[in-house]
Every structure is written in C-alpha cells, then in structure tokens.
Amino acid sequence: MKTLILYKSKTGNTKAYAERIGEGIHGDVFPLDKFKWRNLGGYDAIVFGGWIMGNTIQGIDKFLQHWKEMATKNVFVFAVGMSLPTTESRHLLIEQNILDNYHIRFYQFQGSFDMSKLRFPYNLLIANSIRATVNSPGASPEQKALADLKDHPFVFFDNDKVERVLLVLRTLSAELDCKEAK
C-alpha cells in the first residue's frame, strides 16, 4: 500500500508525528504546501496532520479542497494540540472543522508547547488567551496552572497513539495485499 503523509506544523510537533508515522508505514511525507496534488493518484492511503489553533485544525480547509480526488481512498486526519485529548475535545474538533461531512478516520494527539518558539502574532494570541483563562472568575486549578506555560515548555509525544494509527494503516495494507494476490 502506498501511503502519503501531509502535515502543517508551526513549531515542529505535527511534523515529528507525521515523520514518525511515515517511518512506521514507509510512506512519503511532505509539508502540505510543498505537495504537488497532480501526484496524488498513486496513493492508496492519505494521512493529514495539522496543529490546532483555537480548535481549528490548521491546513484542513486546504487539504479538504481536494476531497473529490481522495474520496475513494483511505483518509486519516490527526490534529495536534497542547491540551489533553478527551471525548469532548474530539467532538468539538470534529464539529468545528466539519469533519463529519467526510469519510475520515480522525485522531487527536497531544503535542508539546513552547512559547519561545512562537513569533508574532502567535505569541501574542496565546499569551492573551492564557491570561484570560488564568484570570477568569472560577478558573480551576488546572486552568490556573496554565500561567506556568509562559516560562516552562511543556513536552509531550504520544508514541502509543502513533502505534494505534500505524496498526490501522498496517491492517489496511495487509488487506490490500490479500486483495491484490487474489
């Protein structure tokens, strides 16, 4: 099975996930903006990863513009954000990015967050958002702890979830091999 992995990354976490998936399935990995869509035909599975900003998966709109060319293939989307993936945050991402209009396998990964890697306007946007959350009346201890993020990078890479995605891809690949052998 030929697998294409595209990604949109600001500070490298989504890129790292895309590259790890690419290694695990021997796929071709490209930044979304560098991929030549005329080369899509040869792929059986397509994986897109985008970083999350304000619950919007960056690059997903551009990726889905090509849906018609991908509709008969196995399509995976993963979103990378600093927050802990929960059932609720997953539903919110699906709704806000209108993913349930498409036949897509969707995964949410937790990524690192490092304020020092951000330039204007992203550093300002996130600083304002953290300040508003920390100072909001009734902020929970977890929300108050966000204040630490400004000075202390948060590092996380979810190997287990990568393995879950790879397991699905490898199963599809084995099924395709069986079909082709018949």
| Other CB atoms within 10 A of residue 80 CB | 31
Which one of 112, 130, 161, 168 is in contact with ligand FMN (CB under 6 A)? 112
Q: How far is the CB of 5 from ligand FMN (least distance, A)?
A: 13
Q: Are 77 and 104 a contacting pair, CB within 8 Å?
A: yes
Examine residue 55 and tell whether it contacts ligand FMN (CB under 6 A). Answer: yes
Out of 71, 92, 98, 125, the only residue in the binding site for ligand FMN (CB under 6 A) is 125
Q: Out of 20, 32, 111, 162, point to the residue binding ligand FMN (CB under 6 A).
A: 111
Contact between 65 and ligand FMN per CB under 6 A: no
Contact indicator for 96, 52 with CB cutoff of 8 Å: no
What are the backbone dihedrals phi and psi of residue 76, each rounded to the nearest 5 degrees, phi first?
Answer: -120, 140
Of 3, 4, 5, 9, the residue at the interface with ligand FMN (CB under 6 A) is: 9
Distance CA 58, CA 69 (A): 20
Q: CB under 8 Å to 1, separation ≥6 — which residues? A: 25, 44, 45, 169, 172, 173, 176, 177
Of 19-27, 49-57, 67-75, 95-103, which part binds ligand FMN (CB under 6 A)?
49-57
- Residue labelled with tokens 């702890």: 145
For ligand FMN, the binding residue among 12, 24, 147, 168 (CB under 6 A) is 12
How far is Cα of residue 102 from the mean position of the Cα atoms in its chain?
A: 16
The reply on whether position 173 binds ligand FMN by CB under 6 A is: no
Write down the least CB distance from residue 176 to ligand FMN, Å: 30
The owner of tokens 């009734």 is: 138
In whole angstroms, the minimum distance from the beta carbon of 142 to ligand FMN comes to 13
Cα gap 44→24, rounded to integer Å: 16
Is 22 a binding residue for ligand FMN by CB under 6 A? The answer is no
Helix (H, G, I), strand (E, B) or coil at 83: coil
Q: Under the rule (CB under 6 A), what is the footprint of ligand FMN?
A: 9-15, 51-55, 80-83, 111-113, 118, 122, 125-126
